[in-house]
Every structure is written in C-alpha cells, then in structure tokens.
Structure 1
Amino acid sequence: MTFRLKTVLGATALVLVSALAAQAETVLKWAHVYETSEPFHTESVWAAEEIAKRTEGRYKVEVYPASQLGKEADINQGLKLGTVDIIISGSSFAARDFKPIGVTYFPYIFRDPSHLLAYTKSDIFKRLSKGYEDATGNHITAVTYYGTRHTTSNKPIEKCADMAGLKIRVPDVPAYLAMPRACGANTTPIAFAEVYLALQNGTVEAQENPLTTIEAKKFYEVQKNIVLTGHIVDHLNTVVSKTLWGNLSDADKAIFTEVMQEAAARATKIIEERENKLVDTFKQKGINVVTVDKADFEKTVLEKVTFEEFGYDKADWEAIRAVQ
C-alpha cells in the first residue's frame, strides 16, 4: 500500500470518527430569565461545562440567559413543548401544575436559608417533588437559594399594622400577596421592569424583594426604608424536562443530578455571602434599615390567611416547619 493511499485512508478514517462523534453529541437547551452577572447564570454555565466533561462530550448544554428563550411562563411551557430541556424557575410556576408545592412560598414557612436547604433533603420535599413530577413528567434535580424577601418603603414600618393602606408592588403570585394583604396593604402587580419608576413617581410607596435585588435594581435610591420583614425565604428549582429525563440512562441521571446540585450549592453560597454584606452597605448609604418583630407579622398572617385558599395542605406546611 502506497504512502499516499495510507494517508487518504487515514484522513477518511478521521472524518468518519469525527462524524460519529458529532452524531453522538446531544445538544441541550438550558434556559432561565436571570442576567449573565447573576450566580444563577454563571453557575449554570459551570454546570454545562461539567456535564460535558463528566459525560465525555456526549452532551453539549447551551445556556440561554435573560429571557432569551422567553419569560418564565414561556420556558415552563417550553418543557412541555420540547423547545427547552432544562430550566431554572420558581416553585410558583411548578405550583401551576401541582398546587401543593407552592406551600414553600407561604410566609415564614422557612426560618432561614439553612432550613430551606434542610427541606430539600427531607421526605416532604421528596413527596412534593414527586407530586409535581407525577403531574408533569418533569424532574426537579436541585434547589438554589434565591434570597430572603424584605420590604422597602417610604413609610416607616415596625409592625404588621404599620402596613395598613400601604400601596405596595408585589408580584402577581398568590402566596407573595399573603403577608402584605394580611397586614392591610393595597397590593399592585406592576411589571418588574417598571418598579423603579413606579416607586420614583409615587404610583406605589413600597415593594418587596431580596436585598441582592434591591441593590441590583437600585430601589434604595427611591426608598427611605429597608424593612427586614424576611417574609419569604425564596428559592429556584432546576428542572429537567420529561423527555430528556426519560431518555437519560441511570448513570447519566446521576451525573446530571450531581452536577446540578453542586451548581445550586455554589450559587447559594454566593447569594448568602452577598446578603450578609448588604445590610452594612445600605446603612453606609444612609438608608434606614429596620429590624422588625417577625413573630408579629407571622401571627397576623396565620390569623388572616388560610392554606386552603391557595390550594395548600396545612399538613405539608407543618411537615416543612418541623424539618430541622
């Protein structure tokens, strides 16, 4: 066999190997609504790279941030339609398919981020996640701490009753409305992108979000008080579509789960570190940061809000509260 023929055959073999490798690679779409600077994105990119490494290149995960593939409702729908394979999304959207899982947004259900993380390892988490999976086929692989939601206001607030008549912007999510309405506030569902202007021009007097969001969106520039109501310990789920989860081998399911849980832990750590520094940062900016009696708020919520009106089960709430 001549050297030239050997070279041609060798080149052909390389082309065939490359073609087979390309065929073996499965491209997946991972979507979320968060900015590229946020840990929910940076750690998703890290996870995508890790999945490629740990599956020896059999999966290539492309991450689409900042609503590139649609708003949160759209990407949840995309799991059903097959237009996305993996998303990061709140339990409020999972609750649209399985209401009981939304109990995790009930005010003061979690004591702190460590309680939330303990919940993700509990039997009640497994039961609620299974209920969601039975309803949709989608699988929750990991939970990331999003931040503890607090209130900002131009009006001083020290106790629940101080919110009576307060015009406050709250996301149009049932459980998010529970605390403000129980305290007598007038809730207004303004689009997130318009909140700063609404606060600035007085359309609303207050809003609620984690400290990291209050900083990122500069709400402190148009609010006099940051009130540490801590009413919701918020979180996000990493969700794999029914189709993708069903097609993964047991070994690959283990890899995806491990990587996604590692990514969630990394993002959670970043959020906690940022939050721990922000109270002092806001005080240095001259903002009045108020520590309130959370027990007063919690007591009022439990007196005035029922679990049934949201489709939640009190037994689930009790089980989560009991998690240590």
Structure 2
Amino acid sequence: MTTVKWSAVVAAVLGLAITGGAAQAQTKLKWAHVYEPNEPFHTQSVWAAGELAKRTNGRYTIDVYPSSQLGKETDINQGLSLGSVDMIISGSSFAARSYPPIGVTYYPYVFRDANHLLAYTKSDVFKELAKGYTDKTGHQILAVTYYGARHTSSNKPIKTCADMKGLKIRVPDVPAYLAMPRACGANTAPIAFAEVYLALQNGTVEAQENPLTTIEAKKFYEVQKHIALTGHIVDHLNTVVSANLWKKLSDEDKKIFSEVAQEAAARATAEIHSKEKELVGFFKDKGLTVSEVDKEDFKQNVLKNVTFESFGYRKADYDKIQAIKSEPAL
C-alpha cells in the first residue's frame, strides 16, 4: 500500500478515535422532579446543572425536567432503578417505600422547625438512615432541601387538636401525612393535588394542609378563610443520584456532584424560608385569619394515637432526632 493510502487510513482511524473519545467524554443526564418551573426547586436545579457542566469541564451535561414531565413522583423514583432518569428531587416519604426507616422524618412534630431539620441533615442519625437507603437501593442522597412547614388552611378556626374533629380535610394519600389529621379525629380525603382548589371551592372538603408557599402558589387562600400554623411536618426534599450513575462517577466527580447539590439545596432553602416569613402578612392582607396553635396538644395526640411501628419507623431514630440541638442558621 502506498504511503499516501496508509496516511489516509491512519487519519481515518484517528478521526474515529477522536470522535468516539469526544462522545464518551460528554455524558448527558436527565434530572427530574414534579415542581413548577418558577419554584426554587426547579430554578436551583437548573443552576446546579450549569455548575456541574462547568465544574466537570463539560464532561456532564444535564437537562432538568420539571412539572412531572418524566412522570409523577412514584414514577421518577422507580426511574432511578429503571434507568429513565439519573437524578431526582423527591421527598423521604417516597424513599421510605424502599427503606421505611428513613420516613421517620415525616412523623408529625419530629422537627421543631427548619433549623432543627438542617441540624439533622448534618447528624449521625441522618448518615445512618441515608446509608440504609443506599444499601437497599444503591441510590445516593446528595443533599436535603427545606420544603416548608406544613400548615392547615380551613373554613373554620383551629386552635387545638379537638377543633379538627369531624373536619373534612384533603390530605395526600401517604400514611405519615394522614397521621396528624386522623389523630385529631378529622375525616381525610385523598383528592388529587390538581383538584384541590375546586374541591375547596365547592365544599367537597373544608380544609387542606400544605406549606405556606404552596397555599400561595395554588391560590388556596382564595377559597379558605383561616390558616392555622400547625407546623405538623417540617417538609423536605432529597436530591438523589441513581445507583447506575453513582457507580460510574470518579471520586473527584462524586465530590463535585455532592458539593453542587448541597450548594443548590442551601440556596433553595434560604429562598423558601425567606418567602415563608413574608407570606403570613400576605395572607392577612388578603383577609384570612392566621393563627398560632397549641403544638404540644397536637403532638401529644399524635404520640398517643399513632405508633411508629405502624409506619415501619423506629422510635429510637425519632428519639435521636428529638435530642439534636439546633442553632439558628436561617
């Protein structure tokens, strides 16, 4: 073969190698969640995707899919194992379907406030529960974002647990969310989230429970007269990476993914906490009554009526979380 022909073959082989190398060097990932594009969970995920591309020199590029575009919360959690998603933001109540003990953070009044939640995420008990989830699924929890304290809106004033007796309230069909209303004698209805506004408007239910930010975003304040600051669950979301992706990451990239996820979670947490403070005044301006409640009364009724074991939780984990001391961080 002539020198010219050999040169052509070598050039072709090198070209294929370079092209193949570039294709291998850039990995495209899917990050999914169920929240709206204007919510901090999405805007900070988009920020994190940009940071990950930048800090890995473009080796990883990420498309973020909001608003259940890749499925509802159950679907995207299953998608981690099926390979349809690489990263998700989702609550521990869904992680608990694979590893029940991690759901103890949804037991009513396990957290005093947002600062207590943040202290928990740095504790040994969090590390133990997260490891238990990873050991069971292979998926890795990188960060925890404060979602907001869940409060109760209704068409009657609520000050004590007894005030909820017989109340028709919409609650997500998740055992931990049902615990407080049922312990107080309320009648719970698992209406789809998209139908809650109409159900409140036409009187199918008289009440619902959600963080203040959700009450504002979904305009529930238009069809409710009162907000009781029950704060029964200090809600939070996990940023989770699939087992398949985590195994492929180098130690250096694992560090980058963890740091960026935690920075994004901190940014979203600060944003949500700040918005919560403003919203009490906003609702009062809209003509709603916003009231403090006797939280200890609610807490004791839950402890009396709802066992940890019925959810697959461990009381020892609850006790450890209760003992965590927290400093004002927000």
Q: TM-score, normalised by structure 1?
A: 0.95
Partner-residue secondary structure (3-state), 2:109: coil
The aligned counterpart of 1:38 is 39
Segments of 5+ residues of structure 2 without an aligned counterpart are: 1-10, 326-330
The aligned counterpart of 1:242 is 243
> Using the alignment, how far apart are the partners of 2:46 and 2:18 within structure 1?
28
Q: Which amino acid aligns with 1:225?
A: H
Q: Which amino acid aligns with 2:132?
A: G
> Using the alignment, how far apart are the partners of 1:24 and 1:183 within structure 2?
56
Partner-residue secondary structure (3-state), 2:245: helix
The aligned counterpart of 1:267 is 268
The aligned counterpart of 1:3 is none
The aligned counterpart of 2:7 is none
The aligned counterpart of 2:132 is 131
The aligned counterpart of 2:57 is 56
Q: Which amino acid aligns with 2:142?
A: T
> Using the alignment, how far apart are the partners of 1:237 and 1:257 within structure 2?
12
1:144 aligns with 2:145: yes
> Using the alignment, how far apart are the partners of 1:175 and 1:269 within structure 2?
26
Q: Which amino acid aligns with 1:52?
A: A
CA distance change for structure 1 residues 135 and 16 in 2, over 3 Å: closer, same or farther? closer
1:82 aligns with 2:83: yes
> Using the alignment, how far apart are the partners of 1:188 and 1:141 within structure 2?
34
1:96 aligns with 2:97: yes
- Taking the TM superposition and a 5 Å limit, the aligned residue runs for 1:279-318 are 279-318=280-319
> Using the alignment, how far apart are the partners of 1:127 and 1:22 within structure 2?
38
Q: Which amino acid aligns with 1:161?
A: A
Q: Residue 304 of structure 1: CA displacement?
A: 1.1
- Taking the TM superposition and a 5 Å limit, the aligned residue runs for 1:97-246 are 97-246=98-247
Partner-residue secondary structure (3-state), 2:35: coil
Q: Residue 305 of structure 1: CA displacement?
A: 1.1
> Using the alignment, how far apart are the partners of 1:88 and 1:160 within structure 2?
32
Deviations 1:90-145 (A, max 9, x none): 00110000000000000010010011011000000000001111110100000000
CA distance change for structure 1 residues 14 and 42 in 2, over 3 Å: closer, same or farther? farther
> Using the alignment, how far apart are the partners of 1:30 and 1:228 within structure 2?
33
Q: Residue 13 of structure 1: CA displacement?
A: 8.6
Deviations 1:283-314 (A, max 9, x none): 11111111111111111111111111111100
CA distance change for structure 1 residues 252 and 286 in 2, over 3 Å: closer, same or farther? same
> Using the alignment, how far apart are the partners of 1:95 and 1:13 within structure 2?
50
The aligned counterpart of 1:27 is 28
> Using the alignment, how far apart are the partners of 2:24 and 2:302 within structure 1?
56
> Using the alignment, how far apart are the partners of 1:131 and 1:16 within structure 2?
42
Partner-residue secondary structure (3-state), 1:135: helix
Q: Which amino acid aligns with 2:206?
A: E
> Using the alignment, how far apart are the partners of 2:26 and 2:125 within structure 1?
37
Q: Which amino acid aligns with 2:311?
A: F
> Using the alignment, how far apart are the partners of 2:81 and 2:48 within structure 1?
23
> Using the alignment, how far apart are the partners of 2:14 and 2:65 within structure 1?
35
Deviations 1:244-292 (A, max 9, x none): 0011111100000000000000000110010010001111111111111
> Using the alignment, how far apart are the partners of 1:16 and 1:181 within structure 2?
64
> Using the alignment, how far apart are the partners of 1:158 and 1:322 within structure 2?
27
Partner-residue secondary structure (3-state), 1:165: coil
Q: Which amino acid aligns with 1:69?
A: L
Deviations 1:13-57 (A, max 9, x none): 999756633331001110001110000000000100101111111
Segments of 5+ residues of structure 1 without an aligned counterpart are: 1-9
> Using the alignment, how far apart are the partners of 1:96 and 1:322 within structure 2?
26
> Using the alignment, how far apart are the partners of 1:254 and 1:93 within structure 2?
25
Percent identical across equivalent pairs?
A: 73
> Using the alignment, how far apart are the partners of 2:170 and 2:125 within structure 1?
32
> Using the alignment, how far apart are the partners of 2:303 and 2:184 within structure 1?
11
Partner-residue secondary structure (3-state), 1:255: helix
The aligned counterpart of 2:255 is 254
Q: Residue 210 of structure 1: CA displacement?
A: 0.2
Deviations 1:187-241 (A, max 9, x none): 0100000000000000000000000000000101101101100000000000000
- Taking the TM superposition and a 5 Å limit, the aligned residue runs for 1:7-22 are 20-22=21-23
Q: TM-score, normalised by structure 2?
A: 0.93
The aligned counterpart of 1:6 is none
> Using the alignment, how far apart are the partners of 2:147 and 2:107 within structure 1?
15
Q: Which amino acid aligns with 1:168?
A: I
